[in-house]
Amino acid sequence: MATLRPSEELGRSHPDHIHIRLLGPIQIERNGRAIGRLESRKALALLCYLCSQGKPVARQELAALFWGDKPESRGRGNLSRVLHNIGQELPNSLEADRRTVFFRGDERLWMDTVQMQRLARSDQFHSLAAATELFRGDFLEDIGLDDCPEFDHWLTTEREEWRRRVGQIYHTLIEHHTARGEYEAALRHVNRLLALEPWQEDAHRQKMLLLHLSGQRSAALAHYERSRRVLAEELGVQPSPETESLRHQIEELNDALTSTVRPVQPRLPLLERGEEHTWLVRQWEAARRGAGKFTLLEGSVGVGKTALIEDVLAYTGGLGAHTLRSRCYNYRTGLVYEPLVEALRPLFHPQQGVVGRVEVADSWLAELTRLWPEVQIQRKVVHPSLDEDTTARHRLFEAVAQFLEAAIAHEREMVLFLDDLHDADQTTLDLLRYLFHRLQFKPIWFVCAYRREETTPNHPLVLWRNVLIREGHLASHQLHPLSSESLLQILRRYQGLTAPQLGQLGRYAIERCEGNPYVLEELLVELGNRHILSEENDEWRLDSGQLSKLLGNGVPVPPGVAAVMENRLSRLNPRARRLLQVAAVLGREFDLALLTRVSAEPNEWVEICLSNWMNRGLVVEVAGENAGENAAGVDGSQVRPTPLHRYRFSHAFLWQVALEELAQLQRERLIERIEAVKAAPPGQEAITPLAGLRAIEEAGDWG
């Protein structure tokens, strides 16, 4: 038996590891070190060709590919010499016989092309992103053999194929990030795609849209000019009608993303909203195919519903959809259909409207003059009689549906967005319901935002929502508060603040906003109004001393937040609101039994109020606790502990506003009463109701 030398034993126990990069500048390493120089560029080209084949290649083919201008015998001789040179640099990497040559690909070999193909087959977006990182440039970027035309032809074809593959991955990633509202990430990929293929007009158009969606309207228009020059220089063509249409829309459309931003604050990113953004985009995609559902986005006040939908509408508008939008208000004055009247009014504009360009029977247009008098001026129709009959309401509804259907056909795709749908009156909801059922198979997307806590079980929106669920025509999603990490990411956008200042700002804002973006914005605006947070030369400054004083004196409720909280409390009847004030004096967290004893109200009444508060999102239940463990009965036996039903105001500022509605004297007297009730044994405290609680008698509904 032959004995191996130590070097041979080492070689077998520790095989060579080879890393080969063919995308971009060629890099070939053996055990972490670049191999020595091969005898010629043709030898390097031959090695790369064998690596990329992944199968045995005939010697005759290789000789013809690289030495086609030489006699066959000489070509084969040159091939043998080069293969020997490769074998010296990469031992045991080639398997060759008299007919074929094969570059072995096993576990010791890593190649960027193989790895990229594996990652590209994945359905995970992080794998696709990793695949693009492997693309450092063109396939065999620094190779070219003028005297080997067959090889150069193969190389050109391979380079184009790899460009196509990576371009496809970029398109997938761009669509993914755009659908999630992650415009900065999408822009990074589109920039890399344009660096790869600067003449690709679709990519230029995508960059224009992304710049517009991220609030950079001027940059979007500037990129249009650059793309126009590139197309003229590279291809000798002008931008397509689709690109011109997008430019026109960017110039004409109001930028909904920046119009609502306060001057004191940089634009808030859509953190933690990627899934919801994608979900909304999918609802839009279904609607434009005529398979849309009525879309409802629900969430508490200030959680970011409107901002999220407006961001998606900027995206759909950039794709050419005509957006109609309005907001519902609780006028309480019998002003009917107002949200839809305002939403559809742009369609009747003398210049930008479509009333003069669509085919609708005069009889239907005459009915529209009841809500839009401008129709009569533009189309010279006869105003219908104002006398109501049993069919007048149906004629009006059908007239609106007929006109909107014609407008959709003219505009091709349309979006109708109503905000705060919980404030819509019954007649508006009836008309909206009629329009949806008449037009649900047309390319129009009905999308609305609302607050469930502002609706009662018999609210018309709740009743219609249940019908939509039963019919399978509802797509709904609830928006939850942001996490502390996302809120901290928002604060990090204040460039110029030191780490300690960001920490102090976070303690002030994050703890108090409780995941609500609107409350966070108002807190930061209040700091700006107090000149504690300011901007100078594109950098932010924080007066840490003044912020410490503010924290020491107790942070007041920002005026905007206070107004929102007061509106929520105003929906309670006076007796229930008074009881909630008593609960506020007990603390942000309170016990139901103690509230009942202090208020001296009947148990049933307090429980009804509590249920009403929870339905309106004013209070939430706290995890149950027990009054005691192993409590002894009168006869000394063990009895089960008594459960304590504890509740908590849903937001600290809501609790603070409810508490501040009481005068100082009222609070002091309530505190005295609370102490007396706590000191007295259960059932022996004074049971006289609080002044005003019994006296107030409210008729009608609870809210």
Dump the DSSP string for 151-216. Answer: HHHHHHHHHHHHHHHHHHHHHHHHHHHHHTT-HHHHHHHHHHHHHH-TT-HHHHHHHHHHHHHTT-
- What's the pLDDT score for residue 644? 65
Domain with CATH 1.10.10.10 in the chain: 17-179, 562-625+642-679
What CATH class does 17-179 carry? mainly alpha
3-state per-residue secondary structure call for 47-88: HHHHHHHCCCEEHHHHHHHHHCCCCHHHHHHHHHHHHHHHHH
First to last CA, the chain: 98
What fold characterizes domain 562-625+642-679?
A: Arc Repressor Mutant, subunit A (1.10.10)
pLDDT at site 250: 81
Examine the pLDDT at 577 and tell me if it is beyond 90.
yes
The answer to whether residue 211 scores a pLDDT higher than 50 is yes
6-25: average pLDDT: 66
What is the mean pLDDT of the segment spanning 196-207? 89
| Least trusted range by pLDDT, from 174-188, 450-464, 599-613, 627-641 | 627-641
| pLDDT value of position 391 | 84
In the predicted structure, residue 332 carries a pLDDT above the cut 90: no
pLDDT in tens, 479-538: 999 888 888 888 888 888 888 988 899 888 888 999 998 899 899 999 999 999 988 877
pLDDT of residue 102: 93
Beta strands in 432-514 (DSSP E): 444-450, 474-478
CA distances from 468 to 153, 296, 477, 489, 567 (A): 61, 11, 14, 38, 29
13 pLDDT higher than 80: no
Least confident stretch, 40-49, 328-337, 342-351, 664-673: 328-337
Please give the pLDDT value at position 457. 82
Lowest mean pLDDT among 17-21, 315-319, 326-330: 315-319
pLDDT class for 218, splitting at 50, 70, 90?
Answer: confident
The whole-number average pLDDT for the span 3-7 is 37
Please, are residues 689 and 697 in contact by the beta-carbon 8 Å criterion?
Answer: no
What whole-number percentage of the chain has pLDDT above 70?
86
For residues 299 and 289, give the distance between their C-alpha atoms in angstroms, rounded to a whole number: 28
> Where in the chain is CATH 3.40.50?
280-478
Helix (H, G, I), strand (E, B) or coil at 96: strand
- Given a cut of 90, is residue 630 above it in pLDDT? no
Q: What's the pLDDT band for 471 if we cut at 50, 70, 90?
A: very high
pLDDT at 7 over 50: no
Residue 703 pLDDT grade (very low, low, confident, very high; cuts 50, 70, 90): very low
Helix, strand, or coil (residue 476): strand
The per-residue pLDDT for range 92-134, each reduced to its tens digit, is 889 989 899 999 877 788 999 999 999 999 888 888 888 999 9
Residue-wise pLDDT tens digits, 266-318: 344 556 688 898 899 999 999 999 999 999 999 998 898 998 998 888 888 87
Mean pLDDT of 375-394: 71
Among residues of the chain, what percentage have pLDDT more than 90?
A: 43
Instruction: Please tell me which residue, 686 or 394, carries the higher pLDDT value.
Output: 394
Answer yes or no: is pLDDT of 157 > 80.
yes
Percent of the chain that is helix, strand, coil (3-state, to 5): 55, 10, 35
Query: Domain spanning 280-478 has what CATH number?
Result: 3.40.50
Question: What is the mean pLDDT of the segment spanning 620-643?
Answer: 52
pLDDT of the residue at 683: 60
pTM given for the model: 0.68
- What's the pLDDT score for residue 432? 96
pLDDT score, position 11: 39
Grade residue 176 by pLDDT with cuts at 50, 70 and 90: confident
